[in-house]
Structures are given as structure tokens and as C-alpha cells.
Chains A and B, each alone.
Chain A
Amino acid sequence: MTVIVIGGGHNGLVAAASLARQGHGVTLLEGRGSFGGVAAGLLHDTDSFSPNIAKALDLASHGLEFTDPAPVFVPSREGPGLLLHRDPVQAAEELGTDAEAYTNWCAFLKRVLPFAASQLDSVAPDISTTGPLLPLMRRGLAFRRMGKTDIHECLRIGPACVDDTLSEHFQSPLLRAALSARALHGTWMGPRSPSSTATLLLGEAQSGQEVVGGASSLVTALVAACENSGVELRPSCRVSRIQVSQGRAKGVTIEGGESLLADRVLSCIGPRRTLLELVESEHLPIREAGQMANLRLRGTLARVSLQLAEPIDYACRPGLRPKRCLVAEHPLDLERAFDHVKHRRMPTQLPLDIHQTEEEASILIRCATIELQGGWSDERRQELGELTLAALEPYVPNIRGIARVTRILTPADIAEEFDLEGGHEMHGELSLDQLGPMRPSMTLSRHATPIDGLYLGSAGIHPGGAISGRPGWQAAQVVGSR
């Protein structure tokens, strides 16, 4: 069977490699000049990449190695800050009075997350009213096996806001800020938004070891795996149309007019763009068209790159020079930042997610709305760079002396440069109504579409997430099995 995979982001690469290893003839089309999408130069975190997929694709033979994630440092203006190790034993010393609570919290996660993780490693359940009941009941029973106390706790905290949940356990605002920041990735929420605990659990369920060398090493390994298994890789090849005839996908037309035919088409770009822009509207049922029109993907991500003369050294902990750092001293700092998103304003006090190497720092800002009133302009872009330095200055007084801003990507720039609709790194906000069997909608979450032979496999599909590879992998299994 021949398959065209649209979009060479990490999910496209995973899907292409998997399909090729199943013995299919795979062509991977990427509109940009290079592969990897948001994994190639935008996002930092690789700890959600599925180790099962790495194993199945034998990425180790292409140089992929995993390691325990680096601790995150949260600097403070009044005190030594917090160096947060994920492992509770390592974290204990830094956490002081919160150490026991953190151990209990980690133990709770360890009990309840395997169920969530198993859901993330399988195709979304079919919850349509005509669907079979047995698989649903099986999942229900698996959930029930967690035991009543933990079930009650999951159902109670899931819909709650992450600030409440964490405040029930922890004293330290630094710790609460560090944990809640993660819950907000890919969402349009602040830590006071109900259901942000659910996204916290979702993130935790995906997280494990991280890739040595970061996201770019992962992309290198995935590209090598594709090449090695015979995938035809075509960069700078932008699809302008998915060809459909008699309700069936036949292939694609690429910019310039070339037509490529295949037995199946798997789109690993956003579901909305796939269905509303690449498919002629006459081929798409009105229900799915409506669902896609309502999909929410308001990007809030921006990035500032710094060239460093010397590593960033935080005044509250001289000499530490951490690889990972979160600038936010209190969950309410994150909430205030989200207030600006909500009101489509330029953020003022920026929480920062910093990833630094010897000479460079990449700083992600997650409170810059693509819907900015008046739009993004050169001045606004410069302002964002200035605000970033201003946010760092209280913690790194010499920042202006050692750092030079080399690149600023506003959400609008990210939308443009990474070909992301809404500038959204996950092709759809993470929210309860856009997760699981509802991601991106009830009829599209299981990879198949109303158009025969057309499948979806980006992060906009269950289980979503950042650089996890799961949607692409599961899509490849579904495509391969039909």
C-alpha cells in the first residue's frame, strides 16, 4: 500500500517511519525546508516523547539516548529559590517542610497515572451512541481498579483549578508555581481556571525521561529512522489540495501543480487546516465542517533567543547555572500573565521558561496572545524582547551585560514560520472539551475522517500533547490496519 504523509513534524516523522516499517510505500511531504516542525527549534521539552515509540522504531540505533530530566530552578528575590528535582528523594532537601507532601503527591501520581498513560497509548475510545459498549465498560473497569479513594480524588481534583489542588498540598509558592506552569502548556488557561488540574495530570502522565541533546537530537534520529526504513522524504513540498473523488482520498496536489497519488493520505498537520483548507468544502460533511470551525486554537506562545557571553547566573544561587529555569515566584504571577491573554493585551510581568546551554538561552513565553489587540508589529516584537530582559533582571542583575537578544518570535511569527494555525503548538488548545474522544471532535478523534482513505495524526488528535509522538504513532497503526 502507498501512503502520503502530510507534514514532517515529529508526529509526521513517527507516522512515516512506522508505516514504512510496516512495509508500506511512504512519501513524507513537508512544506518547510527542513523536518521536525515545532521540535526543530521551538519547544524544549522532550520528556513526553514516548519511550515505547522510540523502542518500536529502534531510534537507539540512530543515536537516540534518554536521560533523567534536568531539575528546574525557580529563582526568588527573597531567598535561595528552589531547585526542583522530579524525584522526591532528590527533591527532599530543597523542599524542606513540603518534602513529605511532595513524596505523597508523587506516590499518588504513581498510583493513578498508569491508567491515564494507558489511555494515552491507545486510540481514543469510541463514545458515539451507536458504538460498542463493551470496550467502554472495559475502560471503566480498568479505571475502577484504581480503588475508590483514588478515583474519588481524581474526579474531585480533575475539574478543579490547579492552584487549588496544589495549595491543598504545598506551602511553597515556588513549588506551586513550578508545578502549575507545566499544567498550562498548550492551554488557554491560568492556574485559577477550573480543569487545569486535569491538564496537569495529562502532562504528568506523559512525562518520563528526556532526550539527550534535546529536541533537535530527536528530530535527527527520527529523520534517520525514516530514511533507513525507505521513506521518501520531500522537504519544501507544500500540499495545496487533498484530492478527493467519490468520497475517497486519492492523493494530493502540491504547490506548483504536481499531483501525487496514493492509497491513503495521512495528515499530520492541524486537523482544521487539513479539513477546511486542503479538502474542497463539497467533500466534507457539514457536521465535521462545523466542528472544525469551532475548534479553539488561540496560540499564546512566543520565544526569545539570547546569545550569552557567559552562562546565566542567578543572584539568589550563585554558581548554580541551571539548564532549566522557570521565572515565576507565585502561581498568581502565572494567573496575572493569563489575564493579559484573556483581555488580548500585551503581557507585562512575564513568566519565563528558560532553557540554557553554554552560549545560548531559549526562552519560552506562554502568555503572549496571538489575538493581541492591534495586532503584532515590529514595535510589539521589540517590546517583548525588552520585557523578557526586564523580567530576568531582578534575578540576574548583569543580564544586559552578558546577553544579546538574537531572535524574537511572536505568536504571529510562530504561526508563519512553523506553519501553525493560530500559532498553536498543539494544533488545538488542551481543554476538557478538546481532549480524549473529543479531540478534535467526537467523530474525528479516532484518526479516520468521513473521507475514505484520509486520516489525521497530528497533536490536534487524541492524545495531543507536545513532543510525544503518540498521535502520529497511533494514526500509523490505524492506517496500517485498514
Chain B
Amino acid sequence: MSAKGADSNPYDAIVVGGGHNGLTAAAYLARSGRKVLVLERRHLVGGAAVTEELYPGFKYSVCSYVVSLLRPWIIRDLNLSRHGLRIVPLECSYTPQLDNPGLCRWPDPDQNRQEIRRLSPRDADNYPEFGKLMGKLARFAKPFIDELAPDPTSLRPRDLWQFKRAADRFRALGDDLVALQLKLTTMGGVDFLREFFESDQLIAPMSCSGIIGTMLGVNSPGTAYVLLHHYMGEIDGSSRAWGFPIGGTGAVSDAIAASALEFGAEIRCNAPIANIRLKNGRATGVILENGDEIAARSVVSGCDPSLTFLRFVGKENLPADFAASLENYKNRGSSGKVNLALDRFPEFVQRPGIGPHVRGDVAIAPSTEYLETAYDEAKYGAFSQRPFINVVFPSLLDPGMAPPGKHVMSCFVQYAPYDLASGPESWPDHREAFGDAVVDTLAEYMPTLKEDILHRQVLSPWDIEQEIGITEGNIFHGELGLEQLLFQRPVAGWARYRTPIDGLWLASSGAHPGGGIMASPGALAAKEMLRAGAV
């Protein structure tokens, strides 16, 4: 406590929620000499990016399991490499099939061509061409995730100028790419990919990127644009899509936390807050669940918008139209997680061995029909009996994740709708059945899997909400639909981290540019606060 006493704003900023974005915001503010306190509800920082040893010797990246868009400039600014961050690229994307060797997509173009050729020579020819086009569009789109969201409805000179720059960049693409970009933003993933490819076994795994974390199917309009993410990712400066942090995704959070601490921030765990304290409509600090009050000039929320505003601020304290917009904000958790500790490696029957094909991610996505059917079940409030599963074996990439000879297996599963037909609170009754569906599905491809399992953790979106605190367990803090992106994230006109409550800022995945372990919202929010003189 500062010598001036409790009410004289000893902290410049309190960050509510120690997820990777909250920590990033704290690090940036501390780096600029501000006095910052991070409050985390759980016993460890990281939010959904945590590594936990739930079973002796086996470490799980409990929720988030890979990184793709962690911004290089943030890695540099926060010295994350010095704080222990090491990311190894995933070497392959493998899509097994039940009756054939399936498809491996490799970083190496020649190897890829050989694989895809088996399915369709035409697709093999188009694949690199497609990559080039996407690469060009990704270069157009990338600046959006590194700067404030442009506001097309604002007439302020600064916004008009930003909008003009984006428009110029857009027109510089040329007609064909402009048309392609428009299609990419509006079309369904499968329809879009069918313009380039004919093999369903290739289209299915490619279309999956568009549905991750959303309550949409691979045919739903608007799911194509996420394809760009694959061409936007950077790991160690090279454009590679996905990577695995040594030590699990918790290592990313730990590195950011270490950086924040080094810059002088204070981090307090086991410190759940009850409310954001308001005085004359202005945020003046927080009230902890234990009743303690902590004052600060500004409060920064690293939590999702619904939790931040509807719970910590309270609907009655918000302007009516803002509250109404928030109530229409779509959270809709749609994915669950099954983490397995394994006695030995469960080989794939159609591609045996522990080769490079399993040192990446494995997608259970045998056909577009399969994926769409999985979505249909969820649409009416049931988990998919045969879900889309994205598997990673962290212990193959980082032996420290499991005892020698043993393995951990991370399964991201969709669809597991938060809103079960019988209500979200009925998830505990369905949780294990959901886990069984996942294991049964996987066991079709890996026949020994069931006998290899030592320990199984099943997380439904409801569990994620209970444990991590994210509303409806949506890993992205709200659907990444066109209507909740850019200047509309989370609410039109409030996409620049400022909120209708003076002194309260939003720095989470629920703000532009959205979810994934990107750290952009946290960093951009902190910069905007500093620019505006709010801290």
C-alpha cells in the first residue's frame, strides 16, 4: 500500500484476470513505468493458456494447446524469448482415414504434392497456387490484427485516414484478389475451397480451420476467412501456421508474466474479484470477493465482455443500449477438451509408427459430410457422437510433458455445445458420455488407444466456464463471426478497448482482433490507454 493511503490511487491500473491478454496489457503498462496490479482468480496465471500437472509426471496444456498468431513484435517488446518462450513448429497436419493412409500436409511443397497427388493430380497442382493467393491476401489482412480496428462509420479525421489507408491497400490488391477477398470474407469454407479443389479428403481438413471455436458448420457462410490465419501465422519469423510452446501453452503465459514482473508489475493469484468499483459512473478500482477494496486510476479487464460488464460492472450501471448490445453478444461455447495420459504411444493403424506424421496436429475430419453432421447434432443441443477432433501429442514435441516412454495427448473436440438441450448445468451428467464419444471415435483410428489410457480429463464448455471463468466456455470470448469482428468487437463503436464506463478498459479476446494466443488485444489496449493518457 502506498504511503498516501487507500483512496489515493496507489495503482495506475488494475488488471482483472491473469490470462495471456491481461498479462500482456500489464507488461506493456509496467514497461512504460506504470504501477500495475494483476488479479487472478485461480492459483496460477494463464487463464485458458495454462499447463497443469493433473496426473503425476504428466503435464497438460489444459485448454489452449497450440499457438499460431502470437505477434512477433510482442515477443520482442516483452523479451519473451529471454523469459523462456520457445515455440517449435508443428511438422505436419495429418488427417487419418479409416480405409486408406489418409493425408499428411507437410511444410515441404514437394512432399505435399506427392501426398495430394494420390487424391487428385489437379489438386496437387492447385495447392501451391492456392497457397500463393492466400499468402497475398494474408499480407493484406495482417495489418488489421496489429492495429486498432478501423471504424467505417466514424467521420473523425484520424479514422477516415485509417479507413482510407485500408481502402488503398485493398484496391492495390488488384481486381482478382479483391474479388477473392470478398468471397473469402463471405463464403462458407467448403464452397470456397471447392473453387480450387475437388478432393473431399483434402477439402475437409482444410475447411476445419473456419469452424474452430465457433458454433458454425463447414458449410456456413462466413467460415472461409479463417483459412487466412494459416497463412498469417509466424513462428520464429518464418511463416508457419501452428506451433507448440515448450512446456505447454502455460509457458507462454509464464513468459509474459515473467516479463511483466521484471517491468515491475505485481501479480496476485487466488484473488477473485466480486465487482469493479464505480464512483459517479467511473471505475475507481475493484472489490475482491473477500471484501477488500483496491483503488486504481484505471481498471483493465482481461476477462470476456459478458463477464466484465454484466457481472463485474452490472447491467444497471451500463448505458441501456450498450447493455442491450451485450445481451445480444454471442458467446456460444462449442468446443470441449479431452486430455489423456497414455502408457505408450497409440499408433494409427493406417499409418503406423511414431514418425513425423504424428509430430504435428492430427485432425479427425474424414469428410465434409462428417463435419457437417457433427455440427447438425450440436445445432439442436447435443454433443457430436462423431466429433471433429484436433489431436496433438505434446510429449512428442517436448519430452518434458510426460515421463519417459509415456505420452500426453491433447484432444480439442467440437462440437460440444454449451447450451445442451437439457441445459448447460446438465453437462456433469453428460460429461463422461461425451468423453466416451471422443475416445470411441479416436479408437477407430488408433485401435490400442483404450488400453493405453492411464488418465482422462474431460472438459465441457460448462467446465471451462466453471474453472477458467470464461462465459459459456467460449475459448475466443465470443463468436468470431463477421458481426462480432473489427469495429463491432464486442459492440459497434466500442472496439478500441475503451468502454462506456470511464476508467474501465477491455483488453481481452473479446476485443479486437479477437481470440487465439495472439496477445494483440492486450498489447493494443495498453498502448491505446497510454496514448490516451488514461494511466
Are B219 and A342 interface neighbours, CB within 8 A? yes
A129 within 8 A of B: yes
A155 within 8 A of B: yes
A208 within 8 A of B: no
Specify which chain A residues have a CB less than 8 angstroms from the CB of B373 in the assembled complex. Answer: 343
B481 within 8 A of A: yes
Which of B174, B182, B373 has the largest count of A CB atoms less than 10 A from its CB? B182
Are A129 and B219 interface neighbours, CB within 8 A? no
Contact of A442 among B175, B186, B195 (CB under 8 A): B175
Bits for B168-203, please: 1 = Cβ < 8 Å to A, else 0.
Answer: 000111111011001100110001000100000000
Nearest CB of chain A from residue B373's CB, rounded to whole Å: 7
Residue of A nearest to B376 (CB): A339
Contact of B221 among A155, A194, A287, A441 (CB under 8 A): A194
Bits for A148-160, please: 1 = Cβ < 8 Å to B, else 0.
Answer: 1101100111111
Specify which chain B residues have a CB less than 8 angstroms from the CB of A335 in the assembled complex. Answer: 379
Known A129-B171, A343-B373, A431-B186; contact A152-B493, beta-carbon cutoff 8 A: yes
Per the bound structure, the CA–CA distance linking A244 and B373 in Å amounts to: 47
Are B153 and A148 interface neighbours, CB within 8 A? yes
Bits for A429-448, please: 1 = Cβ < 8 Å to B, else 0.
Answer: 00111000010011100000
Specify which chain A residues have a CB less than 8 angstroms from the CB of B376 in the assembled complex. Answer: 339
A168 within 8 A of B: yes
Specify which chain A residues have a CB less than 8 angstroms from the CB of B221 in the assembled complex. Answer: 189, 193-195, 431-432
Specify which chain A residues have a CB less than 8 angstroms from the CB of B155 in the assembled complex. Answer: 144
Nearest CB of chain B from residue A124's CB, rounded to whole Å: 13
Residue of B nearest to A130 (CB): B175
Are B178 and A442 interface neighbours, CB within 8 A? yes
Residue of B nearest to A144 (CB): B153
Are B379 and A160 interface neighbours, CB within 8 A? no
B130 within 8 A of A: no
Are A129 and B174 interface neighbours, CB within 8 A? yes
Are A193 and B176 interface neighbours, CB within 8 A? no
Known A156-B492, A159-B222; contact A438-B483, beta-carbon cutoff 8 A: no
Are A438 and B153 interface neighbours, CB within 8 A? no
Are B178 and A342 interface neighbours, CB within 8 A? no
A296 within 8 A of B: yes
B407 within 8 A of A: no
Are A129 and B482 interface neighbours, CB within 8 A? no
B220 within 8 A of A: yes
Are A129 and B372 interface neighbours, CB within 8 A? no
Nearest CB of chain B from residue A443's CB, rounded to whole Å: 7
Per the bound structure, the CA–CA distance linking A436 and B449 in Å amounts to: 52
Residue of B nearest to A192 (CB): B379
Are B182 and A287 interface neighbours, CB within 8 A? no
Per the bound structure, the CA–CA distance linking A195 and B481 in Å amounts to: 10
Residue of B nearest to A442 (CB): B179
Known A296-B191, A431-B186; contact A155-B492, beta-carbon cutoff 8 A: yes
Nearest CB of chain B from residue A112's CB, rounded to whole Å: 14
Nearest CB of chain A from residue B361's CB, rounded to whole Å: 26
Per the bound structure, the CA–CA distance linking A438 and B182 in Å amounts to: 9
Bits for B74-97, please: 1 = Cβ < 8 Å to A, else 0.
Answer: 000000000000000000000000
Specify which chain A residues have a CB less than 8 angstroms from the CB of B174 in the assembled complex. Answer: 129
Nearest CB of chain A from residue B393's CB, rounded to whole Å: 33
Specify which chain A residues have a CB less than 8 angstroms from the CB of B262 in the assembled complex. Answer: none
Per the bound structure, the CA–CA distance linking A342 and B220 in Å amounts to: 10
Known A195-B186, A433-B187; contact A155-B173, beta-carbon cutoff 8 A: no
Are A194 and B220 interface neighbours, CB within 8 A? yes
Contact of B481 among A160, A168, A294, A296 (CB under 8 A): A160
Specify which chain A residues have a CB less than 8 angstroms from the CB of B448 in the assembled complex. Answer: none
Which of B172, B173, B191 has the largest count of A CB atoms less than 10 A from its CB? B191
Bits for A140-173, please: 1 = Cβ < 8 Å to B, else 0.
Answer: 0000100011011001111110001000100000
Residue of B nearest to A293 (CB): B195
Nearest CB of chain A from residue B382's CB, rounded to whole Å: 13
B467 within 8 A of A: no
Per the bound structure, the CA–CA distance linking A144 and B186 in Å amounts to: 22
Are A156 and B178 interface neighbours, CB within 8 A? no
Residue of B nearest to A147 (CB): B153
Specify which chain B residues have a CB less than 8 angstroms from the CB of A155 in the assembled complex. Answer: 152-153, 483, 488, 492
Known A128-B175, A152-B492, A433-B182; contact A159-B483, beta-carbon cutoff 8 A: yes
Per the bound structure, the CA–CA distance linking A342 and B219 in Å amounts to: 8
A332 within 8 A of B: yes
> Given A129-B171, A294-B195, 9 other A-B contacts at CB below 8 A?
A127-B178, A160-B481, A168-B328, A193-B220, A194-B481, A335-B379, A343-B373, A432-B221, A438-B183
State the 9 A-B residue pairs at the shortest beta-carbon distance, nearest first: A159-B482, A432-B186, A152-B492, A129-B171, A194-B222, A442-B179, A433-B186, A159-B483, A195-B221
What are 19 A-B interface contacts by the 8 Å CB criterion?
A128-B175, A130-B175, A144-B153, A148-B493, A151-B153, A155-B153, A155-B483, A159-B483, A195-B221, A195-B222, A287-B176, A296-B191, A335-B379, A342-B372, A433-B182, A433-B186, A438-B182, A441-B179, A442-B175
Which B residues contact A (CB, under 8 angstroms)? 152-153, 155, 171-176, 178-179, 182-183, 186-187, 191, 195, 216, 219-222, 321, 328, 330, 369, 372-373, 376, 379-380, 481-483, 488, 492-493
Which A residues contact B (CB, under 8 angstroms)? 127-130, 144, 148-149, 151-152, 155-160, 164, 168, 189, 192-195, 287, 294, 296, 332, 335, 339, 342-343, 431-433, 438, 441-443
